[in-house]
Amino acid sequence: MVANHAAILTLAVCVCGVLPPAAASAQSDGLLCEVSDTLSLTPTTGEPSGIALEQHLAYLADGTAGLLIIDISEPAAPAFVAARDTPGTATALVIENGLVFVADGDGGLQIIDVSNPAMPEIVGSFPTAEPALGLCVASGVAYIAVGLDGMLTIDVSDPANPVLLGSYDTAGTATSVACAQGIAYIADADGGLVILDVSNPSSPTLLGQSGAAQVQDVMVQGDLAFAATGSGMAVFDVREPTAPVLLNHTQEIGGGNDITIADNRAYLSGASLAYDIADPEQPSPVGAFSHAGSGAAVRDNLAYIASTDGLLILDITDPPSSTVLGSVYVGTTPEGLAVRGDYAYVADWDDGVVVVDISNPTAPVRIANVPTGNLAHDLALEGNYVYVADPSAGLAVIDVSEPSSPVMVVDPTQFRGTRIDVDGDMACILSSSRLYMVDISNPLEPTLLAQHSGFGAGRRHGKVQIVDGYAFVAGPGLSVFDLSDPEAPPIAQVETDAAATTVEVVDGLACVGTHLSLTLFDVTEPDQPTELGQLVLPLGGAESSHIIGDILHVGLFNGEVWLVDISDPANPHRLISTDRWLSLGGIWDIQIQDDLAFIIDSFTGLIIMNVSDCDDCPADFDSNDLVDSRDIIAFLNAWAAQRGTDCSGGCSADFTGDGLVDSRDFIAFLNAWNAGC
């Protein structure tokens, strides 16, 4: 039998030598799956917004920290090389002949010698009246986008003594510039795309301009200019620079403020959106990573992204389809959400309870609403009724037995509050100063059981959740009430590092969000909450949360959604986030159903995202998210061990599922391996 195994291993090596390579990574699906595409994340001390690659090195414009140099020889394990602080805020850079030219905000133009990458040195600089935001360098001249002052041209042939040659004042705010063949293309924000003749750098002159789209960043490839517009990507035909023509303007949630072009693909906001641009008149989405950034460079199917967290390296061989499936406007100020079956129920300030048909997540439709009087903040769904918290009018009860024809059955007159939860015959309503406990055994006649002062919620903090006969209240800290005795004081109270904004309790674990952090408590003994672990959040903290399995989905004040692994409550850690492009108004509420996240944002409305994990990949036999020669070796060893055995109970090498391990399984596996995932 030993000899047989040796033969199998030899065969595996031979097979690997003759078959073409399989795909590098397992098949992608939703947001959670994207974790497997992340090769590494290298934190930085600043907030990087620009990146350039040179051989095995990545150069980052690291905000207030200046220039950062990282060795990317091993993308899965980048190594720090050197850093050089700059006087301003490094926002963009280019590399030319051993020199890095940095657009340094208030620091103007900084020129850094990196001929020895381990010892970068500033060798020259040029002050600018307005912040230097973007640049390109060609033939010894630097073209600097300087905001309200438009563009400057600077002679940098002597890096130690840069000299101003000329300038051109644009109508808008110049944020980026690309140069090619004696022409400068300026991203001028509201001024659109501005095209200048710079064949004489001392006297730039206007060739043409297009105000068809707001332009935040621009790159030029041949006769085409590709622009990030903040709301998508614009493609211009610039073969006649005096008359640029808008060929297409895509519209996307999250838009994009920077653009990168590589291998017939355009990437917006780092790599959050990807397009096939082989046909520039009809760019087609090919995928969307949720890792937004302010700059990116692409090489060998890897994207190097200057993100708010640092340098992020992604495998972009097979970008997943967009995790944002659909969205729909639901009202002026939506804040509360409940989801069940094919319907989502939204609490909106002006429109009351709004009903949305979500049977097709890619095309949600608002189908009905019931005004509740004043400011509907939150709602809860129990049976055929929606209970609405309104801090001005009070508790309203809506019959939704026919979702397309909701009917108010209890007018709001009492129990004013901003947050609500219901369970069985009990409703808990949290106002700015007190907690109401209400008997709803007869939904048509809500009756006060008790009220407790000193527990409050505001528009951006506070929540109540009922679990197993206990009310967990976030606001101002964490408080726990035993609902078997509604009039009794809380059985436990815990101070938090800031005002508590949200609480989610599942299986004896309470996740409490504040304006600063996320803290996990063991509440298996509700009267003795015990802190287990904590995760620091971006400024503003959490606004909503929902737990599914070992994943906590957190909606943040800054518009991001974080997926946090809480399998080890002592060490919660972020797996992935949508980054702040998802929402401009903060994530007011989030609910998860069937691998879909339903998100309420006060600007967009209801957003539906795919938060599933990767599809199964049969060829990834050793389950390491890669399809390579190791899978063949693992399969053949299993095949040799299981051949001829009884597989009625299942065998890993029974690839065809026919209960037998034979040559057909061998052929089926190799075909799957060759196809990749």
Q: pLDDT, tens digit, for every residue of 621-644?
A: 776 656 777 888 888 888 888 888
Burial class (CB in 10 A: 0-12, 13-18, 19+), 484: exposed
Last residue of a domain, one of 280, 296, 322: 322
* Same domain, residue pair 295 and 371: no
Which CATH number is 142's domain given? 2.130.10.10
Nearest one of 134, 156, 137 to 145, comparing CA atoms: 134
Q: CA-CA distances (angstroms) from residue 163 to 9, 155, 168, 506, 519? A: 66, 5, 16, 65, 55
Domain count, the chain: 3
Q: What is the maximum alpha-carbon separation in the chain? A: 84
658's CB contacts (< 8 A; 6+ apart) are 664
pLDDT digits (tens, 9 = 90+) for 661-674: 888 888 888 877 77
* Same domain, residue pair 593 and 643: no
Under 8 Å between Cβ of 335 and 587: no
Tokens of 230: 């903040």
More confident residue, 269 or 372: 372
Residue 343 lies in a domain: yes
Burial class (CB in 10 A: 0-12, 13-18, 19+), 44: buried
When mean pLDDT is compared across 262-266, 305-309, 445-449, 616-620, the lowest value belongs to 616-620
Is 50 exceeded by the pLDDT of residue 8? no
Is 80 exceeded by the pLDDT of residue 385? yes
pLDDT digits (tens, 9 = 90+) for 389-399: 999 889 999 99
Is 60 exceeded by the pLDDT of residue 4? no
* Same domain, residue pair 643 and 665: yes
Residue 44 carries which side chain, given as an amino acid letter? T
How are strands ordered across the β-sheet holding 57-61?
50-54, 57-61, 67-71, 79-84
Last residue of a domain, one of 610, 630, 659: 610
Is 50 exceeded by the pLDDT of residue 138? yes
* Same domain, residue pair 291 and 408: no
Is 60 exceeded by the pLDDT of residue 104? yes
Mean of the pLDDT values across residues 87-92?
Answer: 96
pLDDT digits (tens, 9 = 90+) for 498-535: 989 999 999 999 999 999 999 999 999 999 999 999 99
Burial class (CB in 10 A: 0-12, 13-18, 19+), 119: exposed
Under 8 Å between Cβ of 674 and 631: no
The SS3 call for residue 434 is strand
Residue 62 lies in a domain: yes
Residue 26 lies in a domain: no
Mean of the pLDDT values across residues 211-237?
Answer: 89
Q: What is the mean pLDDT of the chain?
A: 87
* Same domain, residue pair 244 and 180: yes
Residue 111 lies in a domain: yes
pLDDT of residue 253: 57
* Same domain, residue pair 307 and 364: no
* Same domain, residue pair 108 and 142: yes
**Could you tell me the pLDDT band of residue 320, with boundaries at 50, 70 and 90?**
low
* Same domain, residue pair 173 and 54: yes
Is 90 exceeded by the pLDDT of residue 10? no
Last residue of a domain, one of 610, 640, 657: 610
* Same domain, residue pair 344 and 314: no
pLDDT of residue 111: 98
pLDDT of residue 255: 60
Under 8 Å between Cβ of 278 and 254: no
* Same domain, residue pair 40 and 104: yes
Distance from the first to the final alpha carbon of the chain: 33
Residue 100 lies in a domain: yes
Residue 25 lies in a domain: no
pLDDT of residue 28: 56
Is 60 exceeded by the pLDDT of residue 202? yes
More confident residue, 393 or 230: 393
Three-state SS across 396-433? Answer: EEEECCCCCCCEEEECCCCCCCCEEEEECCEEEEECCC
pLDDT of residue 188: 93
* C-alpha–C-alpha distance, residues 181 and 197, integer Å: 9
- The one-character DSSP state at 115 is S
Q: CA-CA distances (angstroms) from residue 374 to 53, 353, 417, 460, 487? A: 55, 11, 12, 18, 30
Mean of the pLDDT values across residues 327-356?
Answer: 92
Residue 249 lies in a domain: yes
Identify the H or E element spanning 273: strand 273-276
Mean of the pLDDT values across residues 189-199?
Answer: 94
**% pLDDT > 90, the chain:** 55
More confident residue, 10 or 560: 560
Three-state SS across 485-517? Answer: CCCCCCCEEECCCCCEEEEEEECCEEEEEECCE
pLDDT of residue 672: 77
pLDDT digits (tens, 9 = 90+) for 435-488: 999 999 999 999 999 999 988 766 666 899 999 999 999 988 999 999 999 999
Q: Which of 124-138, 540-554, 639-653 has the highest average model confidence (pLDDT)?
A: 124-138
β 343-348/134-138 pair status: unpaired
Is 50 exceeded by the pLDDT of residue 319? yes
* Same domain, residue pair 161 and 236: yes
* Same domain, residue pair 200 and 287: yes
Range of the domain at 286: 31-322
Q: How many CB atoms neighbour CB 212 within 10 A?
A: 16
Under 8 Å between Cβ of 598 and 605: no
Tokens of 405: 């024809």
Residue 74 lies in a domain: yes
Q: Tell me the DSSP string of 590-610.
A: EEEETTEEEEEETTTEEEEEE
pLDDT of residue 400: 97
pLDDT of residue 286: 76
pLDDT digits (tens, 9 = 90+) for 242-300: 999 999 998 765 567 888 888 888 888 765 678 889 998 998 877 666 666 778 888 88
